[in-house]
Amino acid sequence: MKKILFVSLILFSISCSPKINYLGDTFSPTSDVDVYYDEGDVRRAYRVMGLMTADSYRSLDAIKEKMIESARANGADGIIFRGFYAQQSELDIDQNVVEGKLIKYKK
């Protein structure tokens, strides 16, 4: 019984918020982040400022919102979602992983 309670507690704490990993440049926070699903959809000149991944047991929509929030905090003008997949965790439970590129528009 204690083992089930312990595993449930771990799963609950892990599932509360996606784990965001970011490698790249940081600028002053922005208020609006444009969302893209294909690089060809970006109609302005830009540079890639960094790469981001997020993983969680939560829904893809919840992960997406957290990634957009993190993109704002890092000063991105846009995020290009590159893809997602399910990854098996150490507890043999699938978690969602989402990848994206943060972009900064050229002036």
- pLDDT digit string, tens, across residues 2-38: 665 555 555 555 555 789 999 999 999 999 999 999 9
Give this prediction's pTM: 0.80
Number of domains in the chain: 1
- Domain CATH for 85: 3.30.110.70
> For 66-92, what is the mean pLDDT?
91
Q: Give the domain extent around 26.
A: 2-105
Question: What's the confidence (pLDDT) of residue 5?
Answer: 53
Question: What's the confidence (pLDDT) of residue 28?
Answer: 98
pLDDT: is 81 or 59 the higher one? 81
SS3 77: coil
One-character DSSP codes across 5-68: HHHHHHHHHHHTSPEEEEEE---S--S--EEESSGGG--S-EEEEEEEEEEESS-HHHHHHHHH
Residue 1 pLDDT greater than 70, yes or no:
no
